[in-house]
Amino acid sequence: DVKVTQSSRYLVKRTGEKVFLECVQDMDHENMFWYRQDPGLGLRLIYFSYDVKMKEKGDIPEGYSVSREKKERFSLILESASTNQTSMYLCASSLIGVSYNEQFFGPGTRLTVL
């Protein structure tokens, strides 16, 4: 069964803290993505990666960085958390070079920054 897992379902951090969100997929997918989801705005792409050590900025990369050292793992880093980064964070993965490249999503991490 297809599986994308995220390290935490709920996380509470303080302003200025460094925050790591981890995502692991067991489907040998090349592509991995980080989105944030806010009411009324839908899913917005933060960063994505199409291969190990490769990364590209999405629509809203400011205040975030990513790391992909292994194919199955994609980490999102908030260097200095701020209250406007309170959100639901969703990780997804997909195959490369397939006609429809369906994205499989993890359960999400609801991050609150105080």
| Rounded Cα–Cα distance for residues 24 and 5 (Å) | 5
CB of 78 closer than 8 Å to CB of 15: no
Query: Where does residue 58 rank: exposed (0-12), middle (13-18), buried (19+ CB within 10 A)?
Result: middle
Q: Minimal distance in Å, beta carbon 67 to other proteins?
A: 17
Tell me: does residue 106 bind other proteins (CB under 8 A).
yes
Using rule CB under 8 A, residue 104 touches other proteins = yes
Q: Residue 28 or residue 42: which is nearer to other proteins going by CB?
A: 42
Q: Is 51 in the site for other proteins (CB under 8 A)?
A: yes
For other proteins, which residue of 34, 47, 48, 89 counts as binding (CB under 8 A)?
48
Residue corresponding to tokens 């359960």: 107
Give the residue from 55, 63, 67, 60 showing the smallest Cα distance to 45.
Answer: 60
Per CB under 8 A, 42 contacts other proteins: yes
List of residues contacting other proteins (CB under 8 A):
4, 30-31, 35, 40-45, 48, 50-51, 54, 56, 58, 90, 96-97, 99-108
